Structure 1
Amino acid sequence: MSFEQQRVVITGASRDFGRTLAIRFAQQGAEVFVSSRSLEASQRVAGEIRDLGHEQVHALACDLAEAASIRRFAAEVAQRTDRVDVLVNNGARWLEGPDLLSASDEDVIDTTAAGATGTVLTVKSLLPLLLASDRPDVVNMISAAGLPAHQRSNAHDAFYAAKSAQAGFADILSKRLRPQGVRVISLYPPDFCNPDPLSPQWESTPRGSGDMLTAHSVAECVFFALGQPRDCFIKSFHFEQAPDRPTEHR
């Protein structure tokens, strides 16, 4: 699958699955906009991508818990491109602890703001650039923690709240943006292993029916949905969770 000439914005792209997606999109020809809370962290990933011989990469800072930071981020993207073809809402703050009292008020606010408000404001700020594309897609990396009645994660209640808010936003966004040709694709993965996409383990990690879900397979779901004809709106991916394995952040 090729993403030549496509411009892809990824939040939370400095580590884990966000970094994986940034590298994989670049390997398939996309111009990639890497963002994270730290500009230095984004620059490290951009450097890794350039080392692969891919020069079409931009490093930016975006704190999803701060509205002003999101506005600056969107303005910097607009300075570099006249359209966005794919927006991947991957950034979120992980907060652990099944005890509601275990987190400070500041941690609760930061977690819910980054995951919930941050997703809404990122789409709002980049929507004009998405509408300038002839094939706009929004991909939301949500988590099984955003599903109704899910109880298997050791995440804090605030993380559950943020992911549930993301899920609700994605549902209504899909309906309301469809008339404008924007596809909204949401993924609800359980715990999955994320081997380094630049290491041999990327190809060698087992992907059998009894194995843990891998980032390789999750990424292929993303690329599969994006590669469909424009009349095909794949709204969401739900994954069967392996027994006795808790869901955790990406």
Structure 2
Amino acid sequence: MTFAGRHVLITGAGRDTGRKLALAFAAGGAHVLATARSLAAAEETAALIHAAGGTATPAVLDLADPASIEQLPVDRLDILVNSGARYLDDVASPADIADTIAVAATGTVLLTERLLPLLRASSRPDIVNLISAAGETGQHRSEAHAAFYAAKHAQSGYAEILSGRLRLEGIRVISLFPPDFVQDGPREPGATLTADSVVDCVLFATDLPRDCFIRAFHFEQLAPRP
């Protein structure tokens, strides 16, 4: 897979899956705009990319703050990866609930809307949304707080409408609905889904020729062990 010459913005790139995505795109030759709420976290991701021979720019982005979204410095974009979201456990404060919905729902929408003109100017534009099985209708596959489900359903609904409208413009909107997964672990039958496998799905979908379009990845539920 090669992403040489492509500019990729990744939200939540300061840790975990977002950082893995940033490293993977950079390894494929992309220039990565690695965003995180903390500048230190974004700089750490960029430093890892530079150490591996890639190129990256760190930037602060707080998806819960419309001003932060508006002030984000970006002048070229080919791939937007909406991976920044806050997982919310079953016990949460009102502030936690408000922040979770603001980041995954409102923040994702505001950032995507702001960046659409740049994507329209690209010859290979993609929008990737790391949603969750919590955003699938009728699924109860996550132990997360109900507010996390609400945020992910909002994100899913936005992605669905956007996909139909932007496809005519040549912009692919690709959504992933993984169950709760682990950052590291064995990648074999019967094992829990890993972040590395999720990252591979993203790379595969965005590297496809423009006449091929995978709109959504839905992951099979592990059957309970006897």
**Do structure 1's residue 131 and structure 2's residue 128 form an aligned pair?**
no
Per the alignment, in what secondary structure is the counterpart of residue 34 of structure 1? strand
1:174 — aligned with what?
Answer: 163
**Do structure 1's residue 232 and structure 2's residue 225 form an aligned pair?**
no
Structure 1's consecutive aligned runs of 4 or more residues displaced over 3 angstroms after TM superposition are: none
1:88 — aligned with what?
Answer: 81
Gaps of 5+ in 1: 196-204, 246-250
Number of residue pairs matched?
225
2:42 — aligned with what?
Answer: 42
2:201 to 210, 221, 228: 221
1:178-203, CA deviations, whole angstroms, 9 ceiling, x for partnerless residues? 111100000001122223xxxxxxxx
1:189-248, CA deviations, whole angstroms, 9 ceiling, x for partnerless residues? 1122223xxxxxxxxx53222222222222221111112111222110000122359xxx
User: Which amino acid in the other structure matches residue 215 of structure 1?
Assistant: A
Percent identical across equivalent pairs? 55
Report if aligned partners of 2:35, 2:58 keep a CA contact under 8 Å in 1: yes
Bigger Cα displacement from structure 2, 236-245 vs 137-146: 236-245
Bigger Cα displacement from structure 2, 117-126 vs 149-158: 149-158
TM-score, normalized by length of structure 1? Answer: 0.86
Report if aligned partners of 2:49, 2:56 keep a CA contact under 8 Å in 1: yes
Per the alignment, in what secondary structure is the counterpart of residue 184 of structure 1? strand
TM-score, normalized by length of structure 2? Answer: 0.95
1:77 to 74, 77, 100: 74
User: Which amino acid in the other structure matches residue 222 of structure 2?
Assistant: A
2:188 — aligned with what?
Answer: 208
1:111 to 95, 100, 119: 100
2:181 — aligned with what?
Answer: 192
User: Which amino acid in the other structure matches residue 86 of structure 2?
Assistant: R
RMSD: 1.4
1:58 — aligned with what?
Answer: 57
User: Which amino acid in the other structure matches residue 15 of structure 1?
Assistant: R
Per the alignment, in what secondary structure is the counterpart of residue 167 of structure 1? helix
Per the alignment, in what secondary structure is the counterpart of residue 77 of structure 1? coil
1:163 — aligned with what?
Answer: 152
User: Which amino acid in the other structure matches residue 88 of structure 1?
Assistant: V
User: Which amino acid in the other structure matches residue 227 of structure 1?
Assistant: D
Per the alignment, in what secondary structure is the counterpart of residue 186 of structure 1? strand
1:57-79, CA deviations, whole angstroms, 9 ceiling, x for partnerless residues? 00001110111111111xx112x
Gaps of 5+ in 2: none
Report if aligned partners of 2:141, 2:179 keep a CA contact under 8 Å in 1: no
